[in-house]
């Protein structure tokens, strides 16, 4: 009985190196995709150059790896087949890059992805455009502008007033001021811009914080 137990211990002791080697062989490297804006700016914008890098850690020995990249949008400019690609930022609000790494140990996870998202910059919005005699414009259209002024206390408003001469533009401005009936404390947020032009179209713009002011040609 003692001999049998002793023999079993010897067999078990002899198998430990093999078990340890097997456990080591099952240790898989990790694949991680990291995206960043080329040039170091933290907030990306459409048209920026992005880079995505596949970081493979934990390989027991150097191997020739092949990197297969796919992107959900944008333009892949360079780097297909390599650990790093460069992508042109699309006009949407996010981009996802995914990689599949060939050459890792069989059975190991070999893919990862990264999404870079951003908030589009605020932009001025045209609220309305009037042509012809302002006194004939339906009152509800002016009421919509007044409501926009009230609803967005942090916004500014630009009103472009065309006219062939100063007298013509002043007359239109007086009608606008009367029809809009803007509250006194809202007045500083409204900028009237004279446009020396024979075109009779009056345009009204809402400009949220951070947005660039419009121009008469917009």
| DSSP, res 162 | E
pLDDT for res 26: 57
Please state, in angstroms and rounded to a whole number, the distance separating the CA atoms of residues 178 and 139: 11
Model pLDDT, residue 93: 78
Question: Among 10-14, 41-45, 172-176, 182-186, which range has the highest average pLDDT?
Answer: 172-176
- pLDDT mean over 160-187: 84
pLDDT score of 125: 93
Is the domain covering 125-207 a CATH 3.30.1330.60 domain?
A: yes
pLDDT of residue 42: 62
Distance CA 175, CA 187 (A): 15
Instruction: For domain 29-117, say whether CATH 2.60.120 is its number.
Output: no
The two three-digit tokens of residue 39, written as one number? 């040039």
Cα 159 to Cα 30, 67, 185, 209, distances in angstroms: 58, 55, 17, 17
How is the chain split into domains, by residue range? 29-117, 125-207
Mean pLDDT lowest among 5-9, 49-53, 102-106, 165-169: 5-9
Q: Is the pLDDT of residue 14 over 90?
A: no
φ, ψ (nearest 5 deg) of residue 50: -110, 150
Indicate whether 2 pLDDT > 50: no
Find out whether 28 and 1 touch, Cβ atoms under 8 Å.
no
How far is the C-alpha of 52 from the C-alpha of 38, rounded, in Å? 10
Share of the chain above pLDDT 70, in %: 83
Does the structure show a pLDDT above 60 at 130? yes
Task: Inform me whether the pLDDT recorded for 95 exceeds 80.
Answer: yes
Q: Which of 143, 150, 195, 188 is nearest to 169 (CA)?
A: 195
pLDDT score at 183: 64
């Amino acid at each position: 009985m003692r001999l049998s137990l002793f023999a079993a211990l010897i067999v078990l002791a002899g198998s430990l190196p093999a078990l340890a080697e097997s456990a080591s062989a099952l240790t898989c490297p990790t694949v991680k995709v990291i995206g960043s804006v080329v040039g170091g700016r933290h907030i990306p914008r459409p048209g920026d150059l992005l880079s995505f890098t596949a970081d493979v850690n934990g390989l027991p020995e150097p191997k020739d790896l092949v990197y297969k990249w796919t992107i959900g949008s944008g333009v892949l400019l360079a780097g297909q087949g390599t650990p790093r690609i460069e992508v042109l930022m699309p006009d949407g609000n996010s981009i996802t890059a995914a990689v599949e790494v060939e050459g890792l140990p069989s059975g190991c996870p070999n893919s990862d992805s990264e999404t870079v998202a951003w908030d589009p910059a605020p932009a001025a919005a045209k609220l309305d455009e009037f042509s012809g005699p302002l006194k004939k414009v339906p009152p509800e259209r002016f009421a919509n502008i007044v409501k926009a002024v009230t609803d967005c206390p942090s916004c500014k408003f630009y009103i472009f007033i065309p006219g062939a001469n100063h007298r013509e533009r002043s007359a239109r401005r007086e009608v606008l001021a009367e029809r809009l009936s803007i509250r006194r404390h809202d007045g500083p947020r409204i900028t009237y811009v004279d446009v020396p032009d024979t075109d009779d179209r009056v345009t009204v713009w809402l400009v949220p914080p951070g947005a660039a002011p419009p121009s008469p040609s917009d």
